[in-house]
Amino acid sequence: MLTIKGQSISSELAIGTIRYYRHIKNIIHDAVAADTDAELARYRSAYRKCMDQLQHLHDKTLRQLSAEEADIFEMHRMLLADSQFHNAIETSIMQEHKTAEYAVYSVGQKLWERFINMEDPYLQARGADIQDVMNRLLFVLSGKNESALDNITEPFIVMAQDLSPSETVQMNTSRLLGFITREGSPYSHTAILAKTMSIPALMHIDIDENWDGHLAIIDGKNQCLYIDPDEALIRKYQAEINSDKKKREALQAIRDLPAITQDGHEVKLYANINTPSDITAAISQGAEGIGLFRSEFLYLNVHEYPDEEVQYSIYRSVLERMPDRHIVIRTLDLGTDKRSPYLALEPEENPALGYRAIRICLNQPELFKVQLRALLRAAAHGSLHILLPMIISVQEIRRVKELLAVCKKELTDEGTPYGNPILGIMIETPAAAVMADELAAEADFFSIGTNDLAQYTLALDRNNARLHTFYDPHHPALIRLIGMTAEAAHRHNIPVCICGESGADLTLTKTFLSMGIDALSVAPSALLPLKQAIRGTTLDSAGK
């Protein structure tokens, strides 16, 4: 048994088999094939091997687990055999002379894009199965990893050198138990995605490819990983997992109670979501609304920017799943670690200080207007709040208001119904916090993004694992900026929410409540522990 220390993102635990994740870009070397017939033969052989693997996995799961769990492999066989998928790959090889890997990847990606843009959450979730089938074909084509895949019938722990947000968002969450990576940091978007999925992640682990297929325990509480744990340790952790589950279930008792301190100070508790499917967890954890929907995650891996109709139907479905609730949708916050193929962003020396978020949107108004029109139309179906990321000046808000006015005029002229969303801004740069008074005069609400506010105030790259010990969410400069922002918001009678990771940090809850923060927006799994902490808090006499 091996014990290795890492950096944890949460206190969650997991026991499962490790599956080594190879980056797809390392598998696809060439797009054009030298010998089309040979490529077709390679693809057909990989196809048959995958079919056999899936049959084997199905039978094994049926014997060892249940018919329900075995069904997933039957469904993957059907996807693989689907004539649309299979024929499109063969056509790409035969007529476009692509390599088998390239054909599988490009056809798989296109199909995935179609699925994730579907309105029905069930069909949307099938996108992850397409990814699984595509990856299986790619791994078999690469000649690697067959045996490891063959041995894993149950949910697994993903091990990788590093995981980008776009890779993470594509993972099939139904069988994902946790992540272990060499790179990454607890404030990266990959860590945020893992928290929303409610799975543990250990970073800074000196991973070894030979662990592929081995049993492991992730202990997020003590920040360590066990490889090949003995029976006694497995039993101990299994008991702890069960007891954590019971504690979580017991918290359901406060689900519908208000988040109010002992002495009567009430705050709103909202959920942060990355895809519409996260709403199920938000509702089950008693979210009073959605405080931050990071809309860019929906479109991270797509090759074409989603059109207005696609965006409208997704935003509308979010509003309709939580009728009459407060819903905040943030406009595209791409750039830095969130890179999308359709934007073809050029490499930058300092991407976090570069072309990102509102800067891209204001520079490409035609692209931004598609999202604004979709949001305006969705606003007719509920209480929609639009949130602008990375604002540093009054002029930026005014420019967005002008674009909104243009979009409204277009919609009126076309006779298309729309609503009047509330317009707020993220306070996530020191410039915005210092100028909060001026910005509050232009915005309807503030939402403080402590992840970026810490990054820019402390001059520390939030994605750099080596800086983790310096990245201090309690730093007095940061707390002072948050306090100044709250005071400015209240001077102008607008509400202020905290939607960065610090919102879920129970050691800061009393400080935030004392500042008069109106709402906290956190990952769904953090909602009830936070509510419990608030309900147990007493602020001192002056409401502080």
For Cα atoms 276, 277, 281, give the angle at the middle one, nearest 5 degrees: 110
Check binding of 499 to ligand PEP (CB under 6 A).
yes
The interface with ligand PEP within residues 103-132 (CB under 6 A) comprises: none
Of 327, 329, 334, which Cα lies nearest the Cα of 296?
A: 334
Q: List 160's β-bridge partners, or say none.
A: 181
Q: How far is the CB of 149 from ligand PEP (least distance, A)?
A: 33
CA 257, CA 286: separation in Å to the nearest integer? 9
Of 522, 466, 470, which Cα lies nearest the Cα of 185?
A: 466
Q: Which residues of 275-286 are buried (b: 16+ CB within 10 A; e: fewer)?
A: bbebbebbeebb
Q: Which is nearer to Mg ion, 225 or 391 (CB)?
A: 391
Maximal CA-CA distance, the chain: 81
Q: Which of Mg ion, ligand PEP, none has residue 450 at its interface (CB below 5 to 8 Å by kind)? A: ligand PEP
Q: Which of Mg ion, ligand PEP, none has residue 183 at its interface (CB below 5 to 8 Å by kind)? A: none
Q: How far is the CB of 525 from ligand PEP (least distance, A)?
A: 16
Q: Which of Mg ion, ligand PEP, none has residue 168 at its interface (CB below 5 to 8 Å by kind)? A: none
Check binding of 451 to ligand PEP (CB under 6 A).
yes
Query: Residue 205's CB: how many other CB atoms inside 10 A?
Result: 22
Q: How far is the CB of 110 from ligand PEP (least distance, A)?
A: 27
Q: Is beta strand 156-160 parallel, antiparallel or unpaired with respect to 13-20?
A: parallel
The interface with ligand PEP within residues 31-50 (CB under 6 A) comprises: none
The interface with ligand PEP within residues 275-314 (CB under 6 A) comprises: 292, 294
Q: Which of 58, 76, 189, 204 is catalytic?
A: 189
Q: Which is nearer to Mg ion, 449 or 516 (CB)?
A: 449
Q: Which is nearer to Mg ion, 156 or 456 (CB)?
A: 456
Q: Which is nearer to ligand PEP, 135 or 190 (CB)?
A: 190
CA 84, CA 167: separation in Å to the nearest integer? 24
Q: Which is nearer to ligand PEP, 288 or 428 (CB)?
A: 428
Q: How far is the CB of 489 from ligand PEP (least distance, A)?
A: 16
Check binding of 428 to ligand PEP (CB under 6 A).
yes
Q: Which is nearer to ligand PEP, 112 or 297 (CB)?
A: 297
Q: Catalytic site residue 499?
A: yes
Q: Which residue spans within 234-324 are E strands per DSSP? A: 259-260, 266-273, 289-294
The interface with ligand PEP within residues 177-196 (CB under 6 A) comprises: 192
3-state helix, strand, coil in the chain (%, to 5): 55, 15, 30
Q: Which residue spans within 274-416 are E strands per DSSP? A: 289-294, 326-330, 383-388
Amino acid found at 211: W
Cβ–Cβ < 8 Å for 11, 220? yes
Check binding of 428 to Mg ion (CB under 5 A).
yes
Q: Output the CA torsion sign for 473, 479, 485, 490.
A: positive
Site string for Mg ion, 439-458 (x = CB under 5 A): ----------x--x------
Q: How many residues bind Mg ion (CB under 5 A)?
A: 3
- The number of C-alpha atoms within 13 Å of 246 and in the hemisphere containing its C-beta is 6
Q: Which of Mg ion, ligand PEP, none has residue 294 at its interface (CB below 5 to 8 Å by kind)? A: ligand PEP
Site string for ligand PEP, 319-348 (x = CB under 6 A): --------------x---------------
Residue whose C-beta lies closest to Mg ion: 452
- Grouping H, G, I as helix, E, B as strand and the rest as coil, residue 194 is helix
Q: Catalytic site residue 497?
A: no
Q: Which is nearer to ligand PEP, 135 or 521 (CB)?
A: 521
Q: How far is the CB of 326 from ligand PEP (least distance, A)?
A: 16
Check binding of 500 to ligand PEP (CB under 6 A).
yes
CA 282, CA 105: separation in Å to the nearest integer? 33
Q: Which is nearer to ligand PEP, 105 or 297 (CB)?
A: 297
Site string for ligand PEP, 379-398 (x = CB under 6 A): --------------------
Q: How far is the CB of 295 from Mg ion (least distance, A)?
A: 13
Q: Which is nearer to ligand PEP, 100 or 197 (CB)?
A: 197
- Grouping H, G, I as helix, E, B as strand and the rest as coil, residue 179 is strand
Q: How far is the CB of 64 from ligand PEP (least distance, A)?
A: 40
Q: Output the CA torsion sign for 48, 51, 55, 57.
A: positive
- Grouping H, G, I as helix, E, B as strand and the rest as coil, residue 219 is strand
Of 195, 224, 228, 197, which Cα lies nearest the Cα of 210?
A: 228
Check binding of 449 to ligand PEP (CB under 6 A).
yes
Tokens of 136: 């299986």
The interface with ligand PEP within residues 133-172 (CB under 6 A) comprises: none
Q: How far is CA 323 from CA 14, 372, 396, 421, 527, in A?
A: 35, 21, 31, 15, 20
The DSSP letter of residue 379 is: G
CA 436, CA 275: separation in Å to the nearest integer? 30
Catalytically active residues, by annotation: 189, 499
What is the contact surface with ligand PEP in residues (CB under 6 A)?
192, 292, 294, 333, 428, 449-452, 499-500
What is the contact surface with Mg ion in residues (CB under 5 A)?
428, 449, 452
